[in-house]
Amino acid sequence: MAGWRWDFSFLFGRKDGGGVHAKTEKLANSSEVNSGYEDQAKGDSAGSYVFHRQGKKNQFFKEMADYAMHYGKNGIPQLLEFLKDPDWEVRCAALRALGLIEGEKSKEILMGYIQDGVSVEEAAQAALALGGMEDSDVTRLLVKKIGEIKREDVQRALMDALAGRPYEQTASFFQTYLNSPTVSGEQKGSALAGLGFHQSAPVELLASFVSNPDEDVRAGAYEGLAARREAQYGQMLLGRLSVEQDPALRQKVYEAAGAQQDTLPSQLARASQQEQDPEARLRAERAWGMTVGRTDNQEDRRRFDAEAVPRLITEALQNPDPGEQRAALQALAMARTGESKLALERIASQSTSPQLSKLAAAMARGGKKGDSKSKK
């Protein structure tokens, strides 16, 4: 789902730009932050604290976030100074840090950066930082900005920030958006994927779109359900395999079905045997591995070892596509059987790709659930 634009004309009477869903994470609460500077700065004021910029940038950015969490509103003046820094990455880090400080002043600063005249990087980062704040009024502010901003990347960040807000605050907006005739299927699908990724919307909302006549909408619903591993829509999703003729869509169905708690390993074993498309079959086997990894049924685990593991080894060692190689490794790692662990170790020792070898070795160290061979 690429190349589309968010369409907000149904809300504001005009079309503004947009982009695709972007991943973002909310930083830890202050009680969870390990402030490495705290001991040496004990007793210091926010204004007298000296930052350490000589090390790696990521360490400096974490220090800035810790500073914001530790000093709160008293740290805003120093963060404003960082917003004048010639390095755009430092300015973006300061915007992220401001999002950790609840209050009107931080909201005002961040809102001021969500403008078409500000660099895309800073405007998008301000939108994401604002979206991470706990104040419920932030949702209203984000919706307001959606009606004002025209640039695609910033629209993307605003939508991602909205998808991460509590759904009770955004339900009206998204229900209007998802049912608007002026919004494209690609846009609706990306919104559904974002809502699933952020765990914000009711899973029933995502499931209600899997039979939509627009394949882009269905694709987004499948992606959203793939992120909701507490759901119980496996049987409904497996039924979609006979409907979806496009192998790319069947890949998404397998990924969503594997995440559902009511999907049985035997069902995905059968589906993988029947799948004719090589890439879709590999996704079916990855989903199969996911279900095997959460079962203690030894028959299911032995079947995966006998039928799937040999093929996955071949895929990892011989498939020229790095993405398909990683998918095979993921299937083995998620199954967590004795044979799948040995397979990962074999791939780590035999692969001619240093990156793949390193990844397989790391996955092999991830451990395994008990199986019949490990039980006395």
In this predicted structure, the answer to whether residue 211 has a pLDDT above a threshold of 70 is: yes
The pLDDT tens digits for 256-274 are 999 999 999 999 999 999 9
Instruction: Work out the end-to-end distance of the chain between its first and last CA atoms, rounded to an integer number of angstroms.
Output: 50
Tell me, yes or no, whether 34 and 164 share the same domain. yes
Residue where a domain terminates, one of 152, 175, 198: 175
- Nearest CA to 198 among 259, 131, 144? 131
pTM of model > 0.75: yes
Q: What is the 3-state secondary structure (H, E, C) of 131-151?
A: HCCCCCHHHHHHHHHHCCCCC
Tell me, yes or no, whether 232 and 254 share the same domain. yes
Tell me, yes or no, whether 158 and 78 share the same domain. yes
- Residue 312 sits in which domain range? 267-376
Tell me, yes or no, whether 46 and 124 share the same domain. yes
- Tally the domains of the chain: 3
Tell me, yes or no, whether 196 and 116 share the same domain. no
Q: For the chain, give the mean pLDDT.
A: 87
The pLDDT tens digits for 116-152 are 889 999 999 999 999 999 999 999 999 999 888 888 8
Task: State the pLDDT at residue 371.
Answer: 55
- Where residue 44 falls among pLDDT bands split at 50, 70, 90? low
DSSP conformation letters of 135-196: -THHHHHHHHHHTT---HHHHHHHHHHHHTS-HHHHHHHHHHHHT-TTS-HHHHHHHHHHHH
What's the mean pLDDT in 215-235? 94
285 in Cβ contact with 251 (< 8 Å): no
Tell me, yes or no, whether 327 and 236 share the same domain. no
Q: How many angstroms separate the CA atoms of 357 and 361, rounded? A: 6
Tell me, yes or no, whether 87 and 234 share the same domain. no
The pLDDT tens digits for 66-114 are 999 999 999 999 999 999 999 999 999 999 999 999 999 999 999 999 9
In this predicted structure, the answer to whether residue 357 has a pLDDT above a threshold of 90 is: yes
